[in-house]
Structure 1
């Protein structure tokens, strides 16, 4: 059985697009030519790969399996090109990262700014994802690496712990909870919260824990960043649960009080997820070394036995 790399890349484009026409456009083919290539691929595999209707295309179970393998194959092809780039394996290439809310908004911008400034030929695609989607993306080869917080169960992935952060409660000065040393999540539910946007890992994480208490999270307003949440808290609009690193930074310029959360999940271990560290191109390994300089000195765990829980 012979696979054409161009056909596999075309299939990925179509699978990631709402329609065959748009997928064909991404591959610089006419819809008719793209359709003929997909039909030939289906004939070679002896399986139907796409359901086609007036609304677009949808992957069949066989198509889902092929997409996983095709992504891995094409990522390895990209890795090969990167490794043999004329300007050096560590200074060229494209890196796709799936990360949680805190990583995307808090520490990765600063890390990536330094990293990319030193490597003009490296490009990065950084996407905010939920924890389960981060794990799935790395497993499927859709992402080179994932950054996640909390325990993870992902057989086949290597897990590199690199830092710890805490969730804290930010309240306005003079708030009834400001004088408390520690509060539980249940105590905070008596007040209106300022939250992140729908789809953020932090909001999903908090809603899950509130539901386990049999309560509801009263959101007065949702913001797009931790800085915006802190500004609302400072103005007395409500209270917010945010990473300690964000609270510490913004409290330097805003009138805020922070209170520790008396919850076991408030302390989070941050981890990098990869399929196989040794097989990654130089640019990706260089980024991992930036996040965790001792990565080459310590053994890598294959997976953990803990249940994956959504962590921001």
Structure 2
């Protein structure tokens, strides 16, 4: 990271409180994200801190896990794992820190010699990378059948209304989705599966909302909701930390239970090592 990039940090911190400035500085944020990544990567090596998390997440998740022997006295790697490099890719718009943190932490405690690095990218790219063998595993929202792809059911997250504390709707525990008619909504970009399903849901109930902002990143969506830009329909696990800290409020949608399915995908016929099989087990564990 250059000195000029470091000087942009205060501006980005200030921009996070203003949605217009936030959009103006998004390009700088991506540049800084690359800079932080460089700081975490020793020359020719892996990230020094696999859990480091910036204010703005880069676009869907590729987790590169490397099995290696630990220092003397530490646990031996799983059989046949020397040099193994599985990669996991997950959908843009997720927050792995909130949604998968429990499973990932348990896995890393059980296998401390595994080095995990998370990134994010578009769902269609995850499918393409899985078919081409660029990744071992992918996590996608609303998984679909595709040639050469095997899908494993992962879990289903409940969709809830998310709004800033003090918003009139935040006073309710449950509301009908029809109450969102005319409300300003902050949403994902239109090609993201969760946005497509949200739009279908709103149309089914005859709800007409005003999208005031469309973003590709759930962390940014949460930040602009916190400052009162609008409300959103999001997976409940993604906002648990904000609800605990009382920076966001959630309201259940009473018409029915709206679920967002997640699936683990991989190329058909792919052989997994013991470490990768254990990784799938930990991801699916609740």
For structure 1, the residue ranges without an aligned partner over 5 or more in a row are 1-80, 295-312
Maintained 8 Å contact 1:94/1:123: no
Equivalent position of 2:262 in the other structure: 270
Residue 120 of structure 2 corresponds to: 128
Post-superposition offset of 1:236: 3.0
Aligned position for 2:174 = 181
Q: Tell me the alpha carbon deviations over residues 75-120 of structure 1, each in whole angstroms, 9 at most, x when there is no partner.
A: xxxxxx989xx95335752121111132635333453344345445
Q: Which residue of 1 aligns with 2:90?
A: 99
Distance 1:256 1:270 in 2: 24
Distance in 2 of aligned mates of 1:129 and 1:210: 26
Q: Secondary structure at the match of 1:246?
A: helix
> 1:189/1:110 Cα in 2 relative to 1: closer, same or farther (>3 Å)?
same
Distance 1:259 1:209, change over 3 A: same
Please state if 1:141 is matched with 2:133. Answer: yes
Instruction: Report the secondary structure of 2:230's partner residue.
Output: coil
Structure-2 residue corresponding to 1:284: 276
Quote the offset at 1:259 in angstroms: 2.2
By how many angstroms is 1:201 displaced? 5.5
Q: Distance in 1 between matches of 2:126 and 2:268?
A: 15
Q: Tell me how many residue pairs correspond in the alignment.
A: 210
Distance 1:120 1:247 in 2: 28
After TM superposition, the structure 1 stretch with the greater mean CA deviation from structure 2, 267-276 or 285-294, is 285-294
Q: For residue 45 of structure 2, what is the aligned residue in structure 1? A: none
Q: Deviations over 1:32-80 (max 9, x none)?
A: xxxxxxxxxxxxxxxxxxxxxxxxxxxxxxxxxxxxxxxxxxxxxxxxx
Contact kept, 8 Å, 1:89 with 1:283, in 2: the verdict is: no
- Which residue of 108, 131, 139 maps to 2:100? 108
CA distance 1:289–1:90, change in 2 (3 Å):
farther
Aligned to 1:160: 152
Could you state the TM-score of these two structures normalised by the residue count of structure 1? 0.52
Distance 1:210 1:182, change over 3 A: closer
Taking the aligned partners of 2:256 and 2:136, their CA distance within structure 1 comes to 30
Displacement of 1:168 in angstroms is 0.9
SS at match of 1:93: coil
Runs (5+) with no aligned partner, structure 2: 1-65, 69-75
- CA change 1:139–1:125 in 2 (3 A) is farther
How far apart in 1 are the matches of 2:194 and 2:210? 13
Deviation at 1:146, TM superposition (A): 1.0
Match of 2:211 in 1: 218
- Pairwise CA RMSD of aligned residues? 4.0
